[in-house]
Structure 1
Amino acid sequence: MSPPRPRKLLRASLKRVLVIASNYKPAAQDVARAVVAWLTQAGIEVLPDYDGTLDLSKVVKDVDLAISVGGDGTMLSVARRMGPAQVPTMGLNLGKLGFLAEFTEREVREWIAGRKDLKLEINHRMRLRCSVTRDGEEIIHYALNDAVIAQGVLTRLITLSMKVNDAHAIRYRADGVIVSTPVGSTAYSLSLGGPILTPGLKAFIVTPVAPHALTNRPIVISGDKRLALRVDTPVDEVALVIDGHERVPLAEGVAVHLRRAQRDFLVVSPAQRSYFDLLRTKLGWGENPRLSTPEEVV
């Protein structure tokens, strides 16, 4: 199945907008209040979330757009808090990278004011549905970047058995295992030699962290498969970590079940900007490394 085609986001279609501010960037509160003022001046109803207390999984059903003010981490937090709900989300970047949060403060202000040449589109980004059963209760989390199973502070090898569609695939002995989406392919997995997947692909990357066997390399698995990773090590502190934030302790014999979420996360992007533009400008993709001369080293 081909990925959904991008949809245009029209300024005139907005009736109610959710504005979420990062709790970790002091400037985000002031900028979020400015965004609320711009929207109000444009005659658009606004639902602000300055302190992270709103249940986004419920309120997004009544809005046309969410504006995340912070950075990529804020976008990941918004995606987690939305759960399976869907609403187009625009990221206003106050952070360093701006890979998910692509917009500047000026671009957001001018688009709200009716700037004609800034065309926006809504793109689908695959998410992971991660579930663990404990005491008879299924605990479900959604990851936009990745799900990591690792031991935490101790650097001891753990053993994980992986099944794909209920068939045994591999037994890892490693510091951990990363299961990432195409969005997450440029994050933790990339630093360990994993491939970059373009966003339209529906696939997982399974990347072992410091594997004991040299033949255990990252593998790309079709997004229509179901994965199960079982902890086979009797050690403490093994945990599932969602997008580097939410942590679920795992005991020996417990399995983490992962599959593509039924609903994608909807990201608003400039129509004029390609994914490869992002790779070049944000990650320096394809650039020749420039080694410092001794005179340049301080």
Structure 2
Amino acid sequence: MNRQLSIIGAPMDLGQNRRGVDMGPSAIRYAGIVERLEQLEYDIEDLGDVAIPRPDRKEEQKSHLRNLKEVAEGNANLARTVDDEVNKGRFPLIIGGDHSIAIGSLAGIAKHYNQLGVIWYDAHGDLNTESTSPSGNIHGMPLAVSLGIGHEELVNIESYQPKIKPENIVIIGARSLDDGEKELIQDKGIKVYTMHEIDRMGMTSVIQESVDYLQDKCDGVHLSLDLDGLDPQDAPGVGTPVMGGMSYRESHLAMEMLAEADMITSAEFVEVNPILDEKNKTASVAVGLMGSLFGEKLK
């Protein structure tokens, strides 16, 4: 694992309609992420938060997509910051913020790799488009956008598309997919481990298969971890909780195995909403999982 690590906050709450997730980066910092990783002897640089514009409520929405202009601008700001850190040879650790920030993360990262792999640890596929989304919430679209499918203002951030290829994606923990997302998964042949597979195979086999699937063909792997991938009992402070998720223990195992595989080159942890949380529990879970991803062990 790259020992030079840059923390980048992305206080985005415009990709959906529940307030509070913009405070996620602050909650994660308050839960001790910098101190946790410094104990593991990483060279940490906390760059603070990228600028996220506020919507003008007087301006008429010209798209079904909620806050399109502001989400695009905020992600463009994030992409430039991430790009700069990768250019410096540093590992970008992005903390959010709703999952629409993955649009900017991947736009800034993917240009540095020929075959960027993505592990999408999430209850949702985030493969909706303007035509398939029931809500118009862009936080349900970042994976589709990164495949070059979606509104031109989003897919063309950093002036190239697609950012990633469908055969280089693994979705882990899916249990809430819209019909349009299911069709896209089938059409593109995207590898998905639903909770059914995780329960039948066990997390050890799921992660090992995912590592084997990506390791030889990808020259970098980005981990995009949505805290709603975990069961709401373990991570209550998320905007779109879905019962029956991955446990805290399973998730630690997954992070430890990814650390052992030594293949993750960038990461983001998203959808921590302290307003919906219980005594900052979800932010503390996020920090604990980051500790495991970056090599923390009991012995």
Structure showing greater radius of gyration is 1
Task: Give the strand-richer structure, 1 or 2.
Answer: 1
Q: What TM-score, normalized by structure 1, do the two folds share?
A: 0.31
Where relative contact order (Cα < 8 A, 6+ residues apart) is larger, the structure is: 2
